[in-house]
């Protein structure tokens, strides 16, 4: 498609569980696209720049909700989404795998400029998140409200929000592995915020050039127990406190990490009943 169907929306409406909606190269000015249960939405050719879904600020780009079978989104660009939550993609009560995709210039007024996970499970692999924003609230690129989440080999660059310029994790045991967080901006947690009953692990990640008032790279708060393992923090900045990682009423573990060349603010910091454990770090 096009060919079998005139639009992506028509292709999805005609699809059944087990089908693949293959999208030919081009820019598609569509929004509020709903994925059916068990369907894969894939850009032709494997290059995400070849197939672009541009919502033009008219609404959310993609919705995955209330599905019995898992869905997949592969090899395309999602841009220009606008919504309160999850302007690029909203996942709720469903399982979704996103691979080799680009989310850029999506804007949420509340949370999750690119993606929100309400409930369910989301994995993102080999994806690029660029210049997404969550207005004055949280999770410039992704906000995990409740549910399972993993990110592997992704890049988060130049995203912004009040809390968590790139990523907010508030649920479950997320794993973020081999990802790069570059030049993201927030009031709290330039790259990442973790909070409440979440126990995330960041493994082999790079945090570079992120900035905030508190926690230039990461801000951990209100009960979360966060582990950074074999991560590198370089050239991050905090105008008030903690260019690397800041801990507020929570416990944070850094193992085999490097924190270096902060442009403003100390490497780490704690407030109230908090702790930061440093194991074999430089």
Indicate the average pLDDT of the chain.
93
pLDDT in the model for residue 120: 94
Rg (CA), the chain: 18
pLDDT of 2 higher than 70: no
Q: Structure pTM?
A: 0.95
Report the alpha-carbon distance of residue 217 to residue 207 in Å, rounded: 6
Report whether pLDDT(268) > 70. Answer: yes
**Each residue's pLDDT tens digit, 142-167:** 999 999 999 999 999 999 999 999 99
| Domain boundary assignment for the chain | 71-279
**71-279: CATH number:** 2.160.20
pLDDT confidence of 87, banded at 50, 70, 90?
very high
């Amino acid at each position: 498609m096009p060919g079998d169907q005139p639009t992506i929306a028509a292709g999805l409406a005609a699809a059944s569980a087990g089908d693949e909606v293959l999208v030919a190269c081009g820019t598609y000015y569509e929004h509020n696209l709903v994925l059916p249960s068990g369907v894969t939405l894939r850009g032709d050719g494997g290059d995400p720049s070849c197939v672009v879904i541009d919502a033009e600020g008219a609404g959310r780009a993609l919705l995955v909700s209330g599905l019995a079978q898992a869905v997949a989104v592969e090899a395309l660009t999602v841009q220009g989404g606008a919504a309160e939550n999850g302007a690029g993609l909203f996942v709720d009560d469903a399982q979704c795998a996103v691979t080799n995709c680009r989310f850029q210039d999506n804007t949420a007024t509340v949370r999750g400029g690119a993606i929100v996970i309400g409930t369910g499970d989301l994995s993102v692999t080999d994806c690029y998140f660029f210049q997404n924003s969550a207005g004055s609230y949280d999770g410039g690129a992704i906000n995990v409200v409740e549910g399972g989440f993993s990110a592997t080999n992704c890049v988060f660059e130049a995203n912004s929000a009040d809390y968590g310029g790139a990523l907010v994790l508030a649920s479950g045991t997320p794993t973020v592995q081999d990802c790069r967080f570059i030049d993201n901006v927030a009031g709290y947690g330039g790259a990442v915020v973790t909070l409440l009953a979440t126990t995330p692990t960041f493994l082999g990640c790079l945090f570079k050039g992120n900035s905030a008032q508190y926690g230039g790279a990461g801000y951990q708060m209100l009960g979360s127990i966060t582990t950074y393992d074999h991560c590198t923090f370089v050239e991050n900045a905090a105008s008030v406190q903690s260019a690397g990682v800041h801990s507020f009423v929570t416990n944070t573990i850094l193992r085999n990490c490097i924190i270096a060349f902060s442009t403003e603010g100390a490497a780490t910091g704690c407030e109230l009943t908090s702790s930061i454990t440093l194991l074999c770090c430089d």
